[in-house]
Structure formats: C-alpha cells, structure tokens
Structure 1
Amino acid sequence: MHRPALSYSGLESGDDVCGVFWLELHPDKQKSDLSEEEAELHLQRFIDVDQAWKVLSNEESRKAFDLQLRAQELKQSWPVDACIKLEDMDWDSENECYSYSCRCGGEFHLEKDEAEEEEDSVVCCDTCSLSIEVKSCR
C-alpha cells in the first residue's frame, strides 16, 4: 500500500492529474490495435487509478488512508521476503514451534502461542536478516 509518484509536470491540481490518467487509461480511449493482454492491463490500471482517486480525492478517506499507511510503516521496520500460510510451516514437536527453511540455510521459528493468535506474524530468520510474514489461518 503506497502512494505512487506521479511525474506530470505543469499540473496544478489533483483534478488535472486525474484527468490526464483518465484520458490515458479509460477503456473507451484505448487504441483498437491493443492485444487482449494489453487491453486487460490498461483496464486494471484504470480501475486502480479510479479507486485511488476515490480515496485520495476525499479529505476524510485520505486522512484515514494516511493513518493506516503510517501504522503499517511503524509496524514493519524491516523488509518481508515472503508471505506464507501457517499450514506451509513444519511442526517441530521437540521444540513445540513451527519452522520454515530460509534460502540462506537458516530457519524461521514461530512459537505455538504466537501461531495461535489471530493476527499475522512477522518472523525473522535465525541466521540472516530476512523475514517472512506468516498469515493466520483464522
């Protein structure tokens, strides 16, 4: 979740930026010689820009979005290498924790009580600086 950097010089307002993207991406304004795949990509980008505009053009929803974005940034202070499901991890009955192999050869370990929480967990490798996000099954 992030705000994209727009590089349209000379545009004064958000309405100007939206207008440029609207004309550039609107399905009715597309060239007829686009492949089906290109047309689908343009349509998805148009939908993404339209949804972003609906959030960012309204002061209340923009403030809520900014707060949510800031909370996410504060919560995650390191890069997440991968997102996995808890069921993809191996159960280590000896240590009573879940484990998952890191590409460096180390291991990610998730304690049983942490795995039972309803929130997703970020787990660091025991050898390198990589981390994974473990999605809760609840």
Structure 2
Amino acid sequence: MGDDKDYYSVLGCEKDASTEQIKKQYKKLALQLHPDKSTSDTGADFNLLSKAASTLTDEREKHKYDTSLLEKRATCNKIVNDEVNCDDFSHDEETQSYLFDCRCGGQFVLGKDEFTSIAKSQLVDCNSCSLSILVISSR
C-alpha cells in the first residue's frame, strides 16, 4: 500500500460503498495488517488503512475527501493552453494580487500568498473564460 492510492483503493471498496461495507472491509484488512498480528513490517500500511477507514466512515470527512478527489481529477483533466513564467505577471498594489491578461480580455489572477508559494508550477484559470495556464516559477 502507499499514500499515492486513494482511500477507496486502500480499503478495496467501490466509491459508492456504504458505511457498513467500508467498516466490514476495514475489519477484514485490519486483522491482516495489524502490527500485533503480522510478522512483516505493516505499521505504515495499517496506519494508512486506519486513516482511510476513519475518513470514509465519517459523513462530513467523506464528503470533504470525495470533493478533493473530484477537484484533483478535474485539475488533471484540464487542458493547459499556455505556460507562463511568473515573472510575466504584473503586480496590482491595490488588490495585492498578481495578474496576467488572457486573450479573452479576462485575467489570470493569483493572490499574493498563492504567487509567493509557487514551488515549481501551478495551474491557474482565467476569471472570464475556460482557458487555463501553467504558471512556472522562476525561483
């Protein structure tokens, strides 16, 4: 198991599994992976399994988790229309944001914190149309 798998995969459940199905699958896998029951080093796997089960059996946490999965998939499926160096953004003193003009007349907008926290790259959407750009850090 690894952190790169989603919680449903960790538990071996479908996305539409009921809370009872998730609990049942957790108990089955917990017996196999519990550090006191296994001869191999399964502590990390057991911890991930426990985190997955606690998240997916709590209605509020499950909703937040499912929403984050949808956002990740949507981001992965977006078409990047251009790559722009962060040095090409202009700074708006009044709003403390960084702007790059889109060909539609709208703008790609990053707040000060977003702009300064770009490590390698960040996908940014236009505020007026469906275009997206990949902002590349020059730092």
Taking structure 2 as the reference length, what is the TM-score of the superposition?
0.49
